[in-house]
């Protein structure tokens, strides 16, 4: 089984080529950070900064800041607290 990891600098999933974090990557991250939602958010915030820089360099159109935030961080608030 292939790991759902980001392929940088494109920030697509190495397993399914969907924008990372894909649905399975999110499930995997929640399991990996079980009960540590704040740490998950901090780590994803760091990746958000890296991805924003990479994608801004690669994409001819400006990034949608709201969509990019939702993709990397917006879903974390729905993760149940342990």
Distance, CA of 32 to CA of 29 (rounded, Å): 5
Contact criterion met (CB below 8 Å) for 40 and 31: no
The string of DSSP letters for 20-75 reads: SS-HHHHHHHHHHTTT-HHHHHHHHHHHHHHHHHHHHHH-SSPP-HHHHHHHHTGG
Q: Which backbone phi and psi does 68 adopt, to 5 degrees?
A: -65, -40
**pLDDT tens digits for range 13-70:** 999 999 999 999 999 999 999 989 999 999 999 999 999 999 999 999 999 999 999 9
The domains of the chain are located at: 6-78
């Amino acid at each position: 089984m292939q790991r759902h990891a980001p392929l940088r600098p494109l920030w697509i999933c190495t397993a399914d080529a969907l924008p990372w974090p894909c649905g399975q990557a999110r499930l995997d991250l929640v399991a990996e950070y079980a009960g540590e939602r704040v740490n998950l958010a901090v780590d994803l915030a760091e990746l958000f900064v890296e991805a924003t820089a990479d994608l801004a360099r690669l994409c001819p159109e400006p990034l949608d800041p709201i969509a990019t935030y939702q993709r990397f961080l917006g879903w974390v608030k729905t993760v149940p607290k342990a």
